[in-house]
Chain A
């Protein structure tokens, strides 16, 4: 992660998908008022459960921790609209299963953690991190971070088995 001028604004790279707090990053998902099913991103129009006729899901903060369902990495620079660092730094990607929501959610893994350090079942927590920056803004996104790593953010998520 490159240093950035303090004058730059820190803005989420996508609106309404996560709480970009440094201390308590959380994905903003949906929970159906009828059947209770979860969605990410939030189902904005109708419940995705075909047995339920409810409307838009209510916004909820999803569990901040989960376990790796699978993982990989990007050894080569993805094409635009990905904004890659120059020079390109490979990054890991994890699919993390949230126990309560029974959802598997993708996210990049924080810089400095390679795929070889991950394993299926590995406990992860959600953090806010830089996706890219331009002249005026630092664009933020959610990323997964192994829980056994030293962290600058307090673990606010409920402990998982």
Chain B
């Protein structure tokens, strides 16, 4: 894809992650002002505020874009508020990007912030027997780590992964995060520390699982034309390294059938209607069935996470071989290994070997989670996908002190929100 599909990232800003116990609006405002300062843009020049919603902070969280706009002072800017679970941040970026590419606005502010409860994420309150997220807690006691642990155990059984491999992911990310002032956990831990922490959901230990955090992140996005004019107007005449731009935002849903069990579901989709399953006693598969059925679909290749990444690569016109760093959603240490394969950094079942060879550590072939990842941050849901992009942009600018990926020109983020939300952003300079 040519530069015509790109939007510029003029500014990045974050409120440090932690358990501060204050209003999410405060974190968002802090991050927004930091991003505006970084961009050298005044709030009154912003034409669109795109907010990533939080569902655990009352009505202001459901209308996050307007909440942040009011906190900054009503300016008449357009507003958008979106929710896509863990992918909310990417959905907010997608909304801003689409309006910029459509020529509706030149400058947009994207903000996500959260104040998180302690412990396991529980469903939103009330007696909601028609909500699968409520029912999975009620009927199964299935928490988020339940699902992470199912994937982890599957890796052990199919690919020979070990608890030490998972712990090594955590240890790596802790070494990265130690250099990040916005990270919540900055102590370096080793494999033994992880294995000595209590098992929460077999085979995952407490230190394998990401915490829930408070935090805020923001981006100032602009059209490429505006970015060039703006750079020329700055005293420095721009950074001299070229403008960092977003080349792809993948927000795809799964392709049927999704045969991996996903939060908050009780079951996978069924693969019984696919041609390859015709021997399974499903006599109607592929039949005309009164004209209601089209040609049977071919089985989608790879899992949902692979589909999320493939859409990002296709839109950006690049492949895994072009990527210098990746920020992936390590809700658990083991899940980071799944993402290596989904992103095509290695083949199926090769993630453990990639990790053991140090390829995904700073200084390796393709550092993953140089920010320290969710392992060092804890998850602040609507801010997290935006924070991933903040890190990639900082790396592409060469400004990630103490954790810089040398010469980085292309970065990718990857994330997934429950109920079928893909999220992957490609940034370049």
User: Looking across the interface, which residue of chain B has its beta carbon closest to that of A38?
Assistant: B270
Q: Which residue of B lies closest to A53 (CB)?
A: B292
Residue from B120, B257, B266, B280 whose CB has the most chain A CB atoms within 10 Å? B266
Given A14-B135, A75-B198, A81-B138; A36-B146 close (CB under 8 Å): no
Chain A 100-141 per-residue mask, 1 if CB under 8 angstroms from chain B, else 0: 111111111000000110011100000000010000000001
A–B complex contacts, Cβ < 8 Å, 20 sampled? A14-B129, A34-B284, A35-B284, A35-B286, A35-B292, A36-B285, A51-B295, A51-B297, A52-B289, A70-B157, A71-B153, A72-B146, A72-B202, A73-B202, A78-B137, A82-B140, A102-B270, A102-B280, A104-B261, A105-B266
Tell me the A residues contacting B by CB distance below 8 Å: 13-14, 29, 32-41, 48-54, 69-76, 78-84, 91-93, 95, 99-108, 115-116, 119-121, 131, 141
Asked whether A82 lies within 8 Å of B138 as measured between CB atoms, the reply is: yes
Please tell me if the beta carbons of B202 and A115 are within 8 angstroms of each other in the complex: yes
- CB-nearest residue of chain A to B255: A50
- Specify which chain A residues have a CB less than 8 angstroms from the CB of B139 in the assembled complex: 13-14, 131, 141
Does B4 sit at the interface, judged by CB under 8 A?
Answer: no
B305 to chain A, nearest CB (A): 16
Does B268 contact A70, Cβ atoms closer than 8 Å? no
Q: Is the CB of A35 within 8 A of B285?
A: yes
A93: B residues at CB distance < 8 A: 140-142, 146, 150
B122 surroundings in chain A (CB, below 8 A): 79-80
Which parts of B121-159 form the interface with A (CB within 8 Å)?
122-123, 127, 129, 134-143, 146, 149-154, 157-158
6 tightest A-B contacts by CB? A72-B149, A120-B157, A36-B284, A37-B273, A79-B122, A78-B141
Max chain A Cβ within 10 angstroms of own Cβ: one of B120, B122, B140, B143: B140
B282 adjacent to A40 (CB under 8 Å): no
